């Protein structure tokens, strides 16, 4: 999957993805692609690598919001995801 240089809300909504921050060898910004009953599948934005985490670990994932053209971590809604 090719990730565009400028990720927009329309691109995310069309594909059903969500931008999140996850701790994996340091904090990483990733795309939450799917969340099944056991695993959540993500792709790191910088490297473009796919990985998965147990769905129980999604409570430690923080969603990101678009503020003035930049993705910022939404600390108020930590652990609240649209999955």
Domain ranges of the chain: 9-74
Phi, psi of 9 (to 5 degrees): -60, -40
Residue-wise pLDDT for 10-66, tens only, equals 888 899 899 999 887 778 889 999 988 999 999 998 888 899 999 888 888 888 888
> How high is the pLDDT of residue 42?
92
From the centroid of its chain, how far is CA 78?
A: 12
pLDDT at 47: 84
Q: pTM above the 0.85 mark? A: no
Cα separation values, 31 from 19, 34, 38, 46, 62, Å: 5, 9, 18, 10, 11
User: Which residues have a Cβ under 8 Å from the Cβ of 36 and sit 6 or more positions away?
Assistant: 55
Rounded distance, CA 30 to CA 20, Å?
A: 5
């Amino acid at each position: 999957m090719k990730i565009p240089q400028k990720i927009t809300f329309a691109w995310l909504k069309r594909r059903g993805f969500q931008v999140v921050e996850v701790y994996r060898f340091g904090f990483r910004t990733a795309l939450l692609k799917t969340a099944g009953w056991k695993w959540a599948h993500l792709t790191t934005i910088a490297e473009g690598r796919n990985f998965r985490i147990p769905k129980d670990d999604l409570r430690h994932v923080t969603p990101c919001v678009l503020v003035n053209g930049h993705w910022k971590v939404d600390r108020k809604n930590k652990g609240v995801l649209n999955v």
